[in-house]
Structure 1
Amino acid sequence: MLGMLRKKPLDKLVEVLGKQKVNTSLPERKLYSYDATPIPLERALPSAVVFPESHEDVVKLVKVCYEEDIPIFPRGAGSGLTGGAVPTSERGVVVSFERMNRFEVNVDNATAEVQPGVITAHFQEYVERLGLFYPPDPSSFKYSTIGGNIAENAGGPRCLKYGVTREYVLGLTAVIKEGQTIKTGNPVIKDVAGYDITKLLVGSEGTLGLITSATLKLIPKPKARATALALFNRLEDVGKAVTKIFTSGIFPSALEFMDEDAIRAVEDYKPVGLPRVSALLLIEVDGSPQSVQEDIRDIKNLLEPMGIEVKTAQSKEEEEKLWSARKSLGPALGNLKTGKINEDIVIPRIYLSEAIPEFRKVARKYDLMMVIFGHIGDGNLHVNLLYDKANREEEERAERAVDEVFEIALKYNGSITGEHGVGLTKKKFLQWQFGPAGYELLRGIKLLFDPKNLFNPGKVVEVLI
Structure 2
Amino acid sequence: MNMVLLTELRAALGTGGVLTDADVTASYQRDMMPLAPYGQPLAVVLPTSTEQVQAVVRACASAGVPIVPRGAGSGLSGAANAIDGCVVLVTTKMNSIVEIDADNRLAVVEPGVVNLDLRGAVEKHGLFYPPDPSSYDWCTIGGNLATNAGGLCCVKYGVTTDSVLGLEVVLASGELLRTGRRTVKGVAGYDLARLFVGSEGTLGVITKATLALRPLPQAPWTLVATFDRTADAGAAVARVVREGVVPSLMEIMDRTSIKAVEQYLKTDLNADEALLICQSDSGGEAARGELAAIEQVCADAGATLTHVTDDLSEGRDLLTARRSVLTALEVYGAWLTDDVCVPRTRITDLITGCERISAEVGLRIAVVGHAGDGNMHPTIVYDPSSPDEFARARRAFDEILAVGLALGGTVTGEHGVGKIKREWLAKEIGPVGLRVHREIKKALDPHNLFNPGSMFSA
Matched, 1:454 2:454: no
Query: Given the alignment of the two structures, is residue 100 of structure 1 paired with residue 94 of structure 2, yes or no?
Result: yes
C-alpha root-mean-square deviation of aligned residues, in Å? 1.5
1:266 alignment partner, SS class? helix
The alpha-carbon distance between structure 1 residues 426 and 179, as it changes in their structure 2 partners (threshold 3 A), is same
Q: Which moved more, 1:396-405 or 1:441-450?
A: 396-405
Per-residue CA deviation, residues 220-264 of structure 1 (Å, 9 max, x unaligned), is 112231111110011110111112222333211111010111011
Q: Paired residue for 2:424?
A: 429
User: What whole-Å deviation, never above 9, does each CA across 1:155-203 have from its counterpart, x for those lacking one?
Assistant: 0110011100000111100001120111110011211122211101000
Match for residue 29 of structure 1 among 19, 25, 30: 25
CA drift at 1:60? 0.8
Q: What amino acid is the match of 1:159?
A: C
Residue of structure 1 in register with 2:387 after alignment = 392
Alignment of 1:8-157 (within 5 A): 8-37=4-33, 39-89=34-84, 91-103=85-97, 104-157=99-152
1:311 aligns with 2:292: no
Task: Give the Cα–Cα distance (whole angstroms) in 1 for the partners of residues 215 and 181 of structure 2.
Answer: 20
Q: What secondary structure, in the 3-state scheme, does the structure 2 residue paired with 1:298 have? A: helix
Q: Which amino acid aligns with 1:97?
A: T
Structure 2 residue matching 1:56: 3-state secondary structure: helix
Instruction: Give SS of 1:443's match.
Output: helix
**SS across alignment from 1:378:** coil
C-alpha distance in 1, partners of 2:330/2:14? 42
Residues in 2 aligned to 1:24 and 1:358: alpha-carbon distance in whole angstroms:
46
Letter in 2 for 1:287: S
Amino acid at match of 1:82: S
1:186: which partner in 2? Answer: 181
Cα deviation for residue 127 of structure 1 reads: 0.8
Aligned to 1:329: 325
| Residue-by-residue CA offset, 1:318-372 (whole Å, 9 max, x unaligned) | 111121221121122121233x331110111122233332232222222332211
Larger deviation, residues 450-459 vs 57-66 = 450-459
Which residue matches 2:168? 173
Please show how residues 223-262 of structure 1 align to structure 2 within 5 Å.
Answer: 223-262=218-257
Unmatched segments (≥5 aa) in structure 1: none
SS at match of 1:177: coil
Mapped contact 2:249–2:278 kept (Cα < 8 A) = yes
Deviation at 1:305, TM superposition (A): 4.0
Alignment of 1:324-363 (within 5 A): 324-338=320-334, 340-363=335-358
Deviates more, 1:78-87 or 1:361-370: 361-370
Q: Secondary structure at the match of 2:146?
A: helix
Aligned residues: 456
CA contact (8 A) 2:37 2:419 kept: no
Is the CA contact 1:120–1:142 (under 8 Å) kept in the aligned structure 2?
Answer: yes
TM, length-normalised to structure 1: 0.94
Is the CA contact 1:258–1:374 (under 8 Å) kept in the aligned structure 2? yes
In structure 1, distance between residues paired with 2:297 and 2:344: 18
In the aligned structure 1, how far is the partner of 2:244 from the partner of 2:69? 43
Q: Give the counterpart letter for 1:318 in structure 2.
A: E
Cα distance, 1:110 vs structure 2: 0.7
Contact 1:346-1:409 within 8 A present in 2 as well = yes
**Residue 13 of structure 1: how far off its partner (Å):** 0.9
TM-aligned CA deviation for residue 451 of structure 1:
1.3
Query: Match of 1:64, SS?
Result: helix
CA contact (8 A) 1:232 1:280 kept: yes
Q: Indicate conservation of the 8 Å contact 1:175/1:210, yes or no.
A: yes
1:387 positional shift = 2.3
For residues 95-146 of structure 1, give each alpha carbon's deviation from its aligned partner in whole angstroms, at most 9, with x where no partner exists.
Answer: 1111111111111111111100001001001111211111101000000000
Deviates more, 1:245-254 or 1:200-209: 245-254
Shift of 1:417: 0.3
Q: Distance in 1 between matches of 2:262 and 2:452?
A: 41
Letter in 2 for 1:211: I
Question: Contact (CA 8 Å) 1:259, 1:278: kept in 2 or not?
Answer: yes
* CA pair 288-317 structure 1, distance change in 2 beyond 3 A: closer
CA–CA separation in structure 2 for the residues paired with 1:354 and 1:31: 39
| Whole-angstrom CA distance in 1 between matches of 2:36 and 2:217 | 42
1:207 match: secondary structure: coil
**Aligned residues of 1:272 and 1:322 also touching (Cα < 8 A):** no
Instruction: Describe the SS at the equivalent of 2:179.
Output: strand
Describe the superposition over 1:64-96 as per-residue Cα deviations: whole angstroms up to 9, x where unpaired. 01001111111111100111111012x211111
The one-letter amino acid of 1:346's match is C
Please give the per-residue CA displacement for 1:266-320, whole angstroms capped at 9, x wherever unaligned: 2222334422421100111111322112222232233224441111235211111
Structure 1 residue 48: deviation in Å?
1.6
Counterpart among 335, 345, 369 of residue 364 in structure 2? 369
Contact 1:230 1:281 in 2 (8 A): yes
Q: Gaps (5+ residues) in structure 2?
A: none
Moved over 4 A (4+): none
State the identity %. 40
Question: Secondary structure, in 3 states, of the residue corresponding to 1:377?
Answer: coil
Give the counterpart of 1:201 among 196, 200, 204.
196
Q: Once the 2 structures are TM-superposed, how far is the Cα of residue 20 of structure 1 from its aligned partner?
A: 2.6
